[in-house]
Structure 1
């Protein structure tokens, strides 16, 4: 999504510029994201190429990008004024170890998994442990903020219940 957004911003500033996006998979998970990407192709003439940019080198003041379109099997070479490498979102290196220590579950990609997404996207099934934001996978700012607020609220309720229990014991 961020790649599409910045590609469109570039096209609004450099009207005669051409944007090529090499991708392996596009994760457009939010409301309207798929449409936004489709509009970047139809309205902004941004070219999406499924595959990897395999080699970058300089030639005559241009950055040459060599790659392959894995859908068509064609080799591609593009002369570019600017190359931007957009890194994929990956879990923290210590996520699996932390999950094991806390008794949490991770998905096949290594992101933390909630107990039941339909009931609550932040509950882990472990009392007092909540997850939010990109530790679960790619999220936009609105989802991240909402989950962070929800997790903070749950923690406040949890800590208040502990304090009440201690007051009743004494």
Structure 2
């Protein structure tokens, strides 16, 4: 039987990695291979993207891929997230497989933002200029204590970046 593609992120890397697995293979077998070949932690929990509960390692890949195309491997059972905006902070625990986009949606609601206002803001890792992509799993950017802090900041937009003509003052 032809193997299937498995996309994954985790503590080992912020990048989305790709591997193959056979449908009859268990998550335990897949994890053992990823520990050996990709630096996944042996004690890592396994999550499906944006699901809150870890998967049992006895599940076969066929049942896993039916639920979601992307996995997350993390030593954290949950990540404590803090988001700051306009002098206020909100806290909540998320699974490490939660995406930055999901966290931003929660934060926008927690701060009472309209959909329009929320669309003009991004999450930035506190104390940095790092603005992770919305599809990044928070477990791949958390610290060793399974915590991360973000600032909800305005999206910087560059408008009118054309070269002026001679009449416009070139």
Fold shared per TM-score above 0.5: no
TM-score grouping bracket, smaller chain normalisation: under 0.3
**Higher Cα Rg, which structure:** 1
Higher RCO by CA contacts (8 Å cutoff, separation 6 or greater): 2
* TM-score, normalization by structure 2: 0.25
Which structure dedicates a bigger proportion of its chain to strand? Answer: 2
Which structure dedicates a bigger proportion of its chain to helix? Answer: 1
